[in-house]
Amino acid sequence: MFGQWVQLYQLPLPVVAGVVRNIRTVFPHVEVWFASPFDMIVLASDRPLRYDRPWLERVVAPNTSVGALGREWLGMDSAGDHFGRRPLGEAGAALLAERGNLVHRDDRPQLAFVAARRFLDQEWDAHVFDSLIGLARRAGDAPGGSPVLLARAMILSRVSSIEIAILEGARRARPDDPVWTVRLAQSRFAFGDTAFADSVLPRVLARSRHPEALLFAAALAERRGDDRARAALLAEVLARGGDTATARAGLAALAARAERWDEAGYQLRGAFAAARGSYRHPFPATPLRDALARLTLKGPVPVADSVLAVAVRARPGWTPIYELRAVAALRAGRCADAADQFRELLDFGIEPADVREQLIRCRRGEKTFGSGRP
């Protein structure tokens, strides 16, 4: 068995195909899988590739570590979902190899130079993945045998010429499943089609108060400035077991905007405790940053300090926390603490432009940042 990771970004299709062609010169049985729409795995063997379904079911069972990782990072709830990530079987891989124009040998390792040069490109071909799906259709390789399994594998939003087509196929296959209507509405909305969301979302919510539909409705309410509707929808998401971190972050942002500081702190602590930061449950950075910034700049410093301490334990690599901790320290007149937080930012290569001036003002006892203490 041989497995080779290949990036689908910053490499044109003929180079990707050349990698597959080279592998096929050694291994007669080759398939192409993808780990995300930006990366693929070429799987090769000198014998036909066969899959033990009962073994896979045990590996991806909910009580296993692989199963937990698969749910959060690959969108896999069962062994069947696994096969949605195989766009090309042997026939499709053979078609892909015909498109290759790169020959990589030990004495002429062209790939090393081509990949390095393309890495410096300002733009890259975002449609290599789409080309693979087109080849799969020509070869009769429907990923997983179902458009739903392919769509389930696509848990990341992508700039893709066929994303909407894939989601439409999943919706046709499962017309009664609200998830596919909502995801299609989200995708079309992202491409500028607001009318579709406005027409289908009320009907979805009338049939099913699915948490994903409620979250999308809350996002639309935010765009329209309807804070009351957004708050009610986010509260219902929590009640129905939806994405806790996203819902709590949104409620925290609303509370901070209304200067309900204790409520904002409570929701922020809950959001950081629940945040997974996976592909399936992305880290809700925008509402968290909004709520934290308002609390830090205008709210009670002790509440801000408490929440920021929770945040840095939960997300130590998220740089806005350190700048906000510095701001809270400056507001409280803790100049040395502020300097420590600015030094933490330096470890990330970040140096705010007015650090020196802010520290000088703090040491003079001058007021900084809003209505807090000197």
The percent of residues above 90 in pLDDT, for the chain, comes to 63
- Amino acid identity of 13? L
* Residue in 74, 80, 76 with CA at minimum distance from that of residue 41: 74
* pLDDT tens column, 103-149: 888 898 888 887 777 766 666 566 788 888 888 888 887 666 677 88
pLDDT, position 161: 64
Kindly tell me the sign of the dihedral angle through the C-alpha atoms of 366, 334, 288, 249: negative
User: What is the pTM assigned to this prediction?
Assistant: 0.83
- When pLDDT is cut at 50, 70 and 90, the band that residue 302 belongs to is very high
Asked if residue 278 lies in contact with residue 75, where contact means CB atoms within 8 angstroms, the answer is no
Exposed / middle / buried, residue 20 (Cβ in 10 Å: 0-12, 13-18, 19+): buried
Q: Are 13 and 128 in contact (CB under 8 A)?
A: yes
Residue ranges and CATH numbers for the domains of the chain are 1-141 (no CATH), 209-318 (1.25.40.10), 320-374 (no CATH)
Asked if residues 372 and 331 have their Cβ atoms less than 8 Å apart, the reply is: yes
In this model, does residue 291 exceed pLDDT 50?
yes
Contact 208, 227 (CB under 8 A): no
CA angle, 58 then 62 then 65, to 5°: 80
What gap in Å lies between CA 354 and CA 360, rounded to an integer? 10
The pLDDT-based confidence of 279 (bands split at 50, 70, 90) is confident
Rg (CA), the chain: 25
**Does residue 155 surpass a pLDDT of 80?**
no
**Got the DSSP string for 350-374?**
---TTHHHHHHHHHTT---STTS--
Residue 372 has pLDDT above 50, yes or no: no
Q: Is the model more confident about 59 or about 162? A: 59
| 352 Cβ contact partners less than 8 Å away, ≥ 6 residues apart | 323, 342, 345
**Does 154 score more than 80 pLDDT?**
no
Of 100, 104, 123, residue with least CA distance to 113: 104
Per residue in 308-349, pLDDT (tens digit) is 999 999 999 999 999 999 999 999 999 999 999 999 999 999
pLDDT at position 374? 34
State whether residue 340 is helix, strand or coil: helix
Question: Does the pLDDT at position 199 exceed 80?
Answer: yes
Provide mean pLDDT across the span 217-229: 95
Q: What share of the chain is helix, strand, coil (3-state, %, to 5)?
A: 60, 5, 35
The residue to which tokens 């390792």 are assigned: 109
pLDDT tens digits along 70-81: 888 888 888 888
For residues 6 and 37, is the Cβ–Cβ distance under 8 A? no
Structure confidence at residue 211 (pLDDT): 95
pLDDT per position as a tens digit, 157-179: 555 667 888 889 889 989 999 99
Report which of residues 30 and 161 the model is more confident about.
Answer: 30
Distance CA 173, CA 196 (A): 19
pLDDT score of 255 more than 70: yes
Confidence bin at 190 (pLDDT 50/70/90) = confident
**pLDDT of res. 83:** 87
* pLDDT at 228 (0 to 100): 96
Residues 6 or more apart from 10 whose CB is under 8 A from it?
115, 118, 119, 121, 124
Strands (E), 254-334: none
Average pLDDT of span 202-216: 95
8 Å CB contact between 181 and 112: no
